[in-house]
């Protein structure tokens, strides 16, 4: 069973639409409230949910839907080449996977129904070719001899003289070497007469546009891998289309600057605001030199919209409690939970506390299966614990991967969408790097589990909601509680959190590696998110030179730290290290005896280590860790209550962006570097606001230890009761 919902956030009265795909003849669907969870290694008995009685509950006919990955641009049917004497197709190209083993379309003109037309291609072995159909519909080609090199700019062109039955082909590198076999110009006689349809669609980055009768958009046939700049089609020397790919990089529109106005629409993304053939390195911001950013990077494995029929729908009941929910799909051989979040009614709060679900981070890790070339045993000291879903993701790249994966051509994935199946965003998904424990949404289920067990009332809001609605969404809550890993955040969300805290709001940061990467939400398509990793930070891929600015907003990407917004300014601590293997505990400091912190440790023995237990690697301080740093903005009056410094193995390493020395004179693992640590921090904000931060992804995985009777749970109780108004200051 596979499926997805049309949005992750709904309110009572909204309609949620669902796409479902299965080979089974029948399947069942129902709406459920997620109450208990968080995967424990070797245990599944802790997961529970309540079925919500809605008209959705029932049995449905099953149908298998296809996925059509590949980014390209396509016009409406209406271009005309049929009466031409000569046809010219040209572009600058930067092929990233020229020897793909199949043709790759650069610019084409095709009648989608008849399949007839002409196009400029790379052959299966990477050489320039013109491909065309004859009157019988048979395909022919003429090509140059030598293939293109990867990662190199070429001017490519084909001019076809239909009357003479010949074609002039040019494959010319932008910068030539003394001996350059890939540079070639040739004129040759065609082996058949070209039969052009009277009207057709023009494509950039594909040989043709296909159509799925169940879909709402075309898909790429013979998709291209690499950059295309300045594509053009001429008939008898007159432009049919001359596209300027530098115009409107924040949109899906590819502008035709010719009088014909054959504008094209992007399908499945394609990375915009990338350097073109004439980028000279003098500007790094595409807004300051748009002409040098006249390219789009296409990938044949881009997927931003599954485009499945949204056949199921459910109206959210007016009395539904704010909480995480899921669409539960089952068939004879499969089961799927598709999470979403029900917010309180617009303009209202129904609890003192709000859980802020880090949905941008969920998206960034969506379909991160562990098959990304990472050596798990080197990272954690133990083999990966992989689920069937992980293997399925590896076997089906058409699902679209995470922002930690790379495309087939080696470039990083910088665009993701929630409009597709995401198999690792499930309430019980065991993360392959966490010894069978949770990650992202499944890790946040540890917190939901504890809130439910403890009887706390809470609302749920998400990153995307705060991004869209700002501080007004936060202002009604006494306390906002983070998820375990709020790593990806937009500027609008950070500004809203800052305003909330400055206005007296209370915040519990119960995670690690938060507010790290600059993230953009597409203003036109809020289900799409963009990332540029740049040249610093802990990452699995880096960006190309000159391509550090987000196409959607123009803002510089990379780490918030290098935008002057380190997380220490927001929550007192920031990313310090990452590792695997055994987690650790915290040891209290003298500052924990300060009267200001007495409420935090009520009911906790002074000699106890904090969190020397847990369902992820056996401790509360683990996986990704944050520490206090006054130079980066931790308030000077903040109390360092406890720390895990000196308690981690060398599997834990210091954050790479902090290592500046020319010669490494000492190790930077947990056994050698005191800054490899998680810090427990508390401080007061203006207007009676307070902040409590734990500095570890694994904190919440310790909450349920010993039937929820432990010092991590006690401390979290104490802080939540205080921040939620049950305990007065000094109590």
Q: Where are the beta strands (DSSP E) in 237-311?
A: 238-244, 253-256, 264-267, 271-274, 295-298
* Per-residue pLDDT at 728 exceeds 50: no
**Cβ contacts of 561 within 8 Å, gap of 6 or more:** 516, 567, 574, 632, 657
- CA 281: distance to chain centroid? 28
Q: How far is the C-alpha of 701 from the C-alpha of 714, rounded, in Å?
A: 14
Confidence class for position 36, pLDDT limits 50, 70, 90: confident
Q: What is the pLDDT of residues 649-668, one digit of tens each?
A: 999 999 999 987 655 557 88
What does the buried/exposed string (b/e) look like for 647-686 if buried means 16 or more CB atoms within 10 Å of the residue's CB? Answer: bbeebbbbbebbeeeeeeeeebbbeebebbbbbbbbbbbe
- Domain residue ranges in the chain: 2-67+306-340, 72-298, 346-724
User: Is pLDDT at 44 greater than 60 in this prediction?
Assistant: no
Bridge partner list, 242 = 232
590 Cβ contact list (under 8 Å, min separation 6): none
For 473-522, write each residue's pLDDT tens digit.
999 999 999 999 999 999 999 999 999 999 999 999 999 999 999 999 99
For 122-148, the DSSP string reads E-TTS-EEEEEE-TT--EEEEE-SSPP
Q: Which two tokens stand for residue 596?
A: 């200001």
- Name the band, by pLDDT with cuts 50, 70 and 90, for residue 729: very low
Interatomic CA distance for residues 670 and 645, integer angstroms = 8
- Cβ-Cβ contacts under 8 Å for 411 (sequence gap 6 or more): 96, 271, 297, 299, 541, 544
Cross-strand bridge partners of residue 269: none
**CA dist 485 → 203, 368, 633, 647, 700 (Å):** 41, 15, 20, 21, 11
- String of DSSP letters for 227-256: EEEEEEEEETTEEEEEEETTS-TTSSEEEE
CATH topology of domain 2-67+306-340: Immunoglobulin-like (2.60.40)
Tell me what pLDDT residue 530 has. Answer: 98
- DSSP code for 320: P
Q: What is the pLDDT of residues 583-605, one digit of tens each?
A: 999 999 999 999 999 999 999 99
> What does the radius of gyration of the chain's CA atoms come to, in whole angstroms?
28
Higher-pLDDT residue of 119, 429: 119
Does residue 270 contact residue 299 with C-beta atoms inside 8 Å?
yes
| Beta strands per DSSP E along 485-526 | 488-489, 506-509, 517-518, 520-521
pLDDT at 104 over 70: yes
Residue 115: the pLDDT is 82
Task: Tell me which H or E stretch contains 378.
Answer: helix 376-380
Q: Which of 8, 624, 730 has its CA nearest to residue 338?
A: 8
CA distance 47 to 52: 17
Averaging pLDDT over each range in 31-40, 75-84, 253-262, 388-397, which range is the top one? 253-262
Q: For domain 72-298, give the CATH number.
A: 2.60.120.200
pLDDT tens-digit map of 439-475? 999 999 999 999 999 999 999 999 999 999 999 999 9
- 491's enclosing H/E stretch is helix 491-502
The H or E element spanning position 500 is helix 491-502
Structure tokens at 512: 């690690």
Query: Quick check: helix, strand or coil at residue 392?
Result: helix
């Amino acid at each position: 069973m596979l499926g997805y919902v049309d949005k992750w956030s709904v309110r009572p009265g909204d309609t949620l639409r669902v796409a479902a795909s299965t080979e089974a003849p029948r399947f069942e669907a129902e709406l459920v409230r997620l109450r208990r969870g968080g995967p424990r290694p070797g245990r599944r008995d802790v997961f529970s949910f309540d079925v919500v009685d809605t008209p959705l509950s029932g049995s449905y006919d099953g149908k298998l839907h296809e996925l059509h990955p590949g980014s390209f641009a396509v016009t409406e049917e209406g271009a005309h080449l049929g009466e031409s004497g000569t046809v010219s197709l040209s572009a600058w190209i930067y092929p990233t996977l020229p020897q793909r083993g199949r043709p790759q379309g650069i610019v084409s003109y095709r009648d989608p129904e008849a399949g007839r037309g002409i196009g400029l291609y790379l052959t299966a072995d990477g050489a320039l070719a013109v491909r065309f159909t004859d009157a019988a519909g048979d395909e022919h080609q003429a090509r140059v001899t030598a293939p293109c090199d990867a990662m190199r700019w070429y001017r490519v062109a084909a001019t076809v003289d239909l009357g003479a039955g010949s074609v002039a082909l040019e494959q010319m590198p932008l910068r030539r070497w003394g001996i350059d076999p890939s540079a070639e110009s040739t004129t040759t006689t065609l082996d058949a007469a070209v039969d052009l349809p009277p009207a057709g669609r023009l494509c950039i980055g594909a040989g043709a546009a296909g159509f799925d009768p169940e879909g709402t958009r075309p898909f790429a046939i013979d998709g291209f891998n690499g950059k295309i700049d300045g594509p053009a089609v001429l008939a008898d020397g007159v432009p049919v289309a001359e596209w300027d790919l530098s115009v409107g990089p924040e949109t899906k529109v590819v502008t035709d600057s010719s009088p014909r106005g054959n504008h094209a629409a992007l399908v499945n993304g394609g990375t915009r605001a990338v350097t073109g053939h004439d980028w000279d390195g003098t500007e790094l911001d595409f807004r300051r030199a748009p002409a040098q950013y006249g390219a789009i990077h296409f990938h044949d494995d881009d997927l931003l919209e599954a485009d499945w029929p949204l056949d199921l729908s459910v109206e959210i009941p007016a009395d539904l409690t704010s909480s995480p929910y899921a669409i539960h799909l089952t068939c004879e051989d499969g089961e799927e939970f598709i999470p979403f979040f029900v917010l309180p009614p617009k303009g209202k709060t129904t609890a003192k506390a709000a859980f802020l679900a880090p949905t941008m981070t969920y998206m960034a890790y969506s379909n991160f299966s562990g098959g990304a070339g990472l050596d798990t045993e080197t990272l954690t000291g133990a083999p990966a614990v992989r689920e069937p879903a992980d293997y399925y993701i590896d076997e089906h790249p058409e699902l679209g991967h995470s922002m930690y994966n790379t495309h087939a051509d080696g470039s990083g994935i910088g665009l993701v969408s929630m409009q597709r199946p995401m198999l690792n965003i499930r309430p019980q998904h065991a993360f392959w790097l966490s010894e069978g424990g949770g990650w992202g949404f499944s890790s946040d289920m540890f917190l939901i589990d504890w809130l439910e067990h403890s009887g706390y009332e809470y609302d749920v809001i998400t990153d995307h909601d705060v991004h869209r609605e700002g501080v007004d969404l936060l202002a009604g809550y006494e306390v906002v509680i983070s998820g375990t890993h709020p790593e990806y955040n937009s500027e609008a969300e950070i500004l809203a959190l800052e305003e909330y805290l400055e206005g007296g709001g209370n915040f519990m940061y119960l995670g690690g590696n938060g507010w790290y990467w600059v993230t953009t939400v597409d203003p036109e398509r809020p289900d799409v998110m963009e990332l540029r990793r740049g040249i610093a930070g802990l990452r699995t891929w880096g960006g190309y030179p000159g391509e550090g600015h987000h196409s959607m907003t123009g803002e510089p990407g990379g780490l918030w730290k290098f935008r002057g917004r380190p997380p220490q300014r927001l929550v007192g601590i920031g990313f310090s290290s990452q590792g695997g293997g055994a987690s650790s505990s915290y040891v209290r400091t003298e500052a924990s005896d300060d009267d200001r912190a007495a409420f935090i440790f009520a009911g906790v023995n002074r000699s106890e280590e904090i969190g020397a237990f847990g369902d992820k690697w056996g401790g509360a301080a683990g996986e990704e860790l944050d520490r206090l740093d006054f130079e980066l903005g931790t308030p000077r009056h903040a109390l360092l209550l406890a720390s895990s410094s000196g308690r981690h193995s060398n599997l834990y390493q210091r954050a790479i962006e902090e290592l500046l020395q020319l010669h490494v004179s000492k190790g930077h693992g947990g056994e050698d570097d005191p800054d490899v640590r998680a810090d427990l921090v508390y401080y007061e904000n203006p207007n009676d606001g307070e902040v409590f931060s734990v500095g570890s992804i694994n904190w919440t995985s310790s909450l349920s230890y010993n039937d929820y009777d432990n010092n991590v749970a006690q401390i979290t109780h104490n802080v939540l009761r205080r921040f939620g108004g049950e305990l007065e200051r000094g109590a």
